[in-house]
Structure 1
C-alpha cells in the first residue's frame, strides 16, 4: 500500500477519512456524491457493454446543459444520448427527472426537453443498496409535463420489482437498445 496522498487530501489539507466524514455529515454533499457514484457505476456498465459488443463506444460528459453519456451503436451511424439519475428516497419507487436549477427568465427551463436525451438510466442504489443496479427507459416512452408538453414530466413511477423488463422500463440496457433502437 502506498503512503502517497490523494490530490484532494493535499488540496484541502484533510485526510481521506476526514474528507469522507465531511461528505457523510452533509446532506447536499451526499446528494452530489450519490450522483457521481451513479455515473461511475453507469460508466462501468457501459464499459462492460462495449467489451461485449453491445455498443461500439461511448463518451461521458460533465458539462452543464449536456446529457451525461453518448453511446455509439455497432454498425449504426446514429448516437444515443443517456441522462443518469438516482431513484428518489421516498416510499414509492420513482425517479425525479428535472434539472437542479431553473433560469430566472424561463420557469420551464428546469424541466428536460423531450429531445434532450434518448434514454434515462436510473440507479437503484438508494433503495436496493446495490449501486450497480439500474432501470433504463426510452425518453419517447416517458410522460410529458402537463403545462409544458414539449418537456418531460418531473415524476415517473418505476416498477416495484427488481426486474423491470416491461414496455417502458428495462433492467438490461442491451434489451432496451435492441427493442427501441434497432440498427438501421
Structure 2
C-alpha cells in the first residue's frame, strides 16, 4: 500500500484531532521524548493539539501526516515550526516527529522528513534545526538524512525514567532550485 503524506489545513487538522491525540499518546506511552511525560492527561494532549491547529491557522507552522492511501488511520506526523522574526525567515525547526508503534521501522519517519524538507524548500526555509534525545534511535535517521550534529546540551529535559537527559542538536542546510531562489531574492531598486 502506498504511503500518502499530506500537509493539513487548520480544518483538516481539527477534524483529525482524535487521531493526532492517539499518535501523541502512543509516542509518550512508548517512551518517546516529545515534551510530555506519561501518563499523558487527555486534556493536556488536547490543549497541545489545539495550539498546533492555531499555529497552522496563523501560518507559523506546517503539519504533515502520513497514512496508507485508502486507509483512515494516521501512521505518523511531523511539524515544521517557522521562524517569524524578520532576520530569520529562512529558518525553521523540525519538531514532533511521531510514528505510531505499529508503523515504525517501515520508512515512515524518513518519508515524513523528506516531505517536510520539500515543504521547507517551497517556503524558502533553507536552514532546518532540530533536537532529539541523545542516544535515541532518531539520531541515526537524522545523520543518515544529512543532518549535522552541533553538540549536546546536558541535563536538558526530564524523561519518562524521571532522570535528566542530554539533547542532541542538529541542523541541515537545504538547497533551493534556481526558480525558488529567484522568488526569495530581494527586489532590485534602481538608484
Whose relative contact order is higher, 1 or 2, with alpha carbons under 8 Å and at least 6 apart? 2
Q: Which structure: greater helix fraction?
A: 2
Q: Which structure: greater strand fraction?
A: 2
Question: TM exceeds 0.5?
Answer: no
TM-score by length of 2: 0.28
TM-score by length of 1: 0.29
